[in-house]
């Protein structure tokens, strides 16, 4: 089904001069000292209209985007594990918004889901999100109101929780990856929630950016050890990055530490919403150019970035020892023997076999569901109407749950659970390689994945596909932990 996932509307990825990570987020930011008293580390984020040049071409125009505090991505929010974080959202948009800190285990009222966990923040209004940070890792923030359009126009940023004992590296790079649909001048084109995007693979674009711009060559020093924090902030694009001539080691998945390992199948595959932390030792010789290639869509492979080893001497002469595992986050281990098991079947979309579905208590043919409500995806036969529907799952606080997710569609779906992290137990009947913790698990067409978690965080939480147009098109539900 890969071929059906290619960019639609006649766009192609000819524009492959990629990824200017030039300024933001490239250096190893050092945390300013906290005051002695345990005050919250405070940030303030102001979403609003901005003009940002996405294309590297000097003749290209700046695009009208929406940005947090004027930049795409927004400022890096950085704190340390165990600290308290406070983020003031001041809404400078002409519409309501919220702030969702993706992947963080925080109190329900701080989760930023409109209607479900808070009233949306009106234009000119503000809201303070404040919570403790039990887990280290790479996370991100984005609005959860009109998500496909607000995220798609540029509202997102990295949220990094540093380990108490971070691994020793020479440099850290944060790459927030995105995929835009632009015209030749570099302006955003096309309506959001286009019917084709909803029913197919989401808003796939024709311009890939890292940290809000096409990426030029990435200068490195031979022998240098880099921690690369990757965040997929795209609406719909799955990335599959192969590192020519290098041996990257995955040390964390969706923020949570994992036994260091080479990426399965030789490439780092990331659906929307997912993160990966890599340790990459620059193994080239001075002067070498080593490409990072995205060949997730084989026939549309392109060079994502190029590590250019500076001429001159290498930083070190002998290779470093393999990276050590990071300390685990304090996640509750699910009790598999006592876990309550459920199946969640994903159906619908183009080339699917779905005929009818439930929507707001009414049984509708797929045709009516689509014509009247623009819904085309279901979980267990039910299309989501948004954020206020009856919970599909009522979970008992403190109990373990084991969910079998079955993708009966022709499309990729990164399924995201709010407020918790789950273990991935099996994939297509086989034990999952690292039993990694995750908050967003990618299911390819016909995949079956088992996850398990302890429902330890009370409140009503979303479970949804992070292809944002799929969520808009019905692929989500509410999970009530009480
Ligand atoms: Cu990244 Cu429900 O969100
Ligand atoms: Cu999906």
- Which residues are in the CB-under-5-Å shell of ion ligand 2? 413, 465, 467, 470
DSSP strand pairing (448-454 vs 400-407): antiparallel
Ligand 1 touching residue 181 (CB < 6 A): no
Superfamily of domain 23-162, CATH level 4? Cupredoxins -  blue copper proteins (2.60.40.420)
Distance 10 CA to ligand 1 centre (A): 29
List of residues 6+ apart from 424 with CB closer than 8 A:
432, 435, 436, 437, 438, 441, 449, 450, 451
Least confident of 149-153, 208-212, 248-252, 320-324: 320-324
Closest ligand to C-alpha of residue 440 is: 1
Distance 413 CA to ligand 2 centre (A): 4
For ligand 1, atom 1: residue with the closest CA: 102
Closest ligand to C-alpha of residue 415 is: 2
Ligand 1 touching residue 102 (CB < 6 A): yes
Q: Looking at the predicted structure, is the pLDDT value of residue 81 above 60? A: yes
Structure confidence by residue, pLDDT tens digits, 202-249: 999 999 999 999 987 999 999 999 999 999 999 999 999 999 999 999
Ligand 1 touching residue 413 (CB < 6 A): no
Task: Enumerate the domain spans of the chain.
Answer: 23-162, 171-309, 340-481
For ligand 1, atom 3: residue with the closest CA: 102
* The predicted structure's pLDDT at residue 5: 33
Distance 471 CA to ligand 2 centre (A): 7
Ligand 1 touching residue 103 (CB < 6 A): no
Q: What does pLDDT average to over the chain?
A: 92
What ligand 1 atom has the least distance to the C-alpha of 103? 1
Closest CA to 381 of 350, 346, 417: 346
Ligand 1 touching residue 470 (CB < 6 A): no
User: Is 210 in contact with 180 (CB distance < 8 Å)?
Assistant: no
Ligand 1 touching residue 471 (CB < 6 A): no
Closest ligand to C-alpha of residue 413 is: 2
What ligand 1 atom has the least distance to the C-alpha of 273? 1
Cα–Cα distance, 458 to 480 (Å, whole number): 8
Ligand 1 touching residue 467 (CB < 6 A): no
* The predicted structure's pLDDT at residue 436: 97
Ligand 1 touching residue 275 (CB < 6 A): no
* The predicted structure's pLDDT at residue 13: 40
Burial class (CB in 10 A: 0-12, 13-18, 19+), 72: buried
Q: Looking at the predicted structure, is the pLDDT value of residue 33 above 70? A: no
Distance 307 CA to ligand 1 centre (A): 31
In this prediction, residues 141-161 reach a mean pLDDT of: 98
User: Is 1 in contact with 410 (CB distance < 8 Å)?
Assistant: yes
What ligand 1 atom has the least distance to the C-alpha of 113? 2
Confidence tier at 39 by pLDDT (50, 70, 90): confident
| 115-380-97 Cα angle (round to 5) | 20
The pTM assigned to this predicted structure is 0.93
CATH architecture assignment, domain 340-481: Sandwich (2.60)
- Per CATH, the number for 171-309 is 2.60.40.420
Q: Tokens at residue 408, please?
A: 């009966």
Structure confidence by residue, pLDDT tens digits, 376-399: 999 999 999 989 889 999 999 999
Ligand 1 touching residue 47 (CB < 6 A): no
Percent residues over pLDDT 70 in the chain: 92
Q: Looking at the predicted structure, is the pLDDT value of residue 30 above 70? A: no
What ligand 1 atom has the least distance to the C-alpha of 102? 1
Structure confidence by residue, pLDDT tens digits, 102-127: 999 999 999 999 999 999 999 999 99
Q: In what order do the strands lie in the sheet with 218-220?
A: 218-220, 302-309, 289-294, 239-243, 267-270
Q: Looking at the predicted structure, is the pLDDT value of residue 23 above 60? A: no
Distance 310 CA to ligand 1 centre (A): 39
Closest ligand to C-alpha of residue 99 is: 1
Distance 275 CA to ligand 1 centre (A): 13
Closest ligand to C-alpha of residue 151 is: 1
What ligand 1 atom has the least distance to the C-alpha of 140? 1
What ligand 1 atom has the least distance to the C-alpha of 418? 2
Say which residue, 184 or 357, is predicted with more confidence: 357
Closest ligand to C-alpha of residue 140 is: 1
* The predicted structure's pLDDT at residue 16: 36
Confidence tier at 58 by pLDDT (50, 70, 90): confident
Confidence tier at 57 by pLDDT (50, 70, 90): confident
């Amino acid at each position: 089904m890969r071929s059906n996932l290619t960019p639609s509307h006649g766009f192609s990825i000819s524009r492959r001069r990629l990824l200017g990570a030039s300024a933001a987020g490239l250096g190893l930011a050092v945390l300013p000292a906290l005051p002695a008293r345990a005050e919250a580390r405070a940030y303030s984020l102001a979403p609003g209209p901005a003009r940002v040049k996405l294309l590297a071409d000097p003749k290209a125009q700046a695009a009208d985007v929406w940005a947090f505090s004027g930049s795409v991505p927004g400022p890096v929010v950085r704190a340390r594990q165990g600290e308290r974080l406070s983020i003031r959202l001041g809404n400078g948009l002409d519409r309501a918004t919220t702030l969702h800190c993706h992947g963080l285990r925080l109190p329900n009222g701080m989760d930023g889901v409109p209607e479900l966990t808070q009233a949306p923040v009106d234009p000119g209004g503000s809201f303070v999100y404040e919570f403790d940070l039990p887990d280290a890792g790479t996370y991100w923030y984005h609005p959860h109101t009109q998500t496909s359009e607000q995220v798609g126009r540029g509202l997102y940023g990295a949220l990094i929780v540093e380990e108490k004992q971070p691994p020793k590296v020479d440099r850290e790079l944060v790459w927030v990856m995105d995929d835009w649909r632009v015209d030749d001048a570099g302006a955003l084109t096309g309506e959001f929630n286009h019917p084709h995007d909803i029913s197919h693979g989401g808003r796939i674009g024709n311009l890939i950016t890292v940290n809000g711009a096409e990426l030029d060559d990435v200068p490195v020093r031979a022998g240098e050890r880099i921690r690369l924090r990757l965040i997929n902030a795209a609406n719909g694009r799955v990335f599959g990055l192969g590192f020519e001539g290098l041996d990257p080691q995955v040390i964390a998945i969706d923020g949570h530490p994992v036994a260091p390992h080479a990426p399965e199948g030789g490439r780092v595959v990331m659906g929307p919403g997912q993160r990966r932390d890599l340790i990459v030792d620059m193994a080239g010789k001075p002067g070498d150019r080593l490409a990072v290639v995205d060949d997730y869509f084989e026939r549309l492979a392109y060079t994502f970035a190029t590590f250019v080893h500076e001429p001159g001497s290498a930083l070190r002469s002998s290779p470093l020892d393999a990276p050590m595992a990071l300390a685990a986050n304090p996640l509750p281990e699910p009790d598999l023997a006592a876990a309550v098991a459920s199946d969640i079947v994903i159906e619908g979309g183009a080339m699917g076999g779905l005929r009818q579905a439930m929507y707001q208590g009414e049984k509708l043919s797929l045709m009516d569901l689509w014509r009247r409500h623009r819904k085309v995806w279901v979980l267990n036969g039910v299309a989501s109407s948004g954020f206020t529907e009856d919970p599909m799952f009522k979970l008992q606080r403190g109990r373990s749950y084991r969910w079998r997710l079955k993708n009966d569609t022709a499309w990729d779906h990164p399924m995201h659970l709010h407020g918790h992290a789950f273990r991935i137990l099996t994939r297509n009947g086989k034990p999952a390689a690292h039993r990694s913790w995750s908050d967003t698990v990618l299911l390819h067409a016909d995949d079956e994945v088992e996850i398990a978690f302890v429902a330890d965080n009370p409140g009503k939480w979303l479970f949804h596909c992070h292809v944002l147009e799929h969520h808009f098109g019905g692929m989500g539900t509410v999970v009530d932990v009480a």
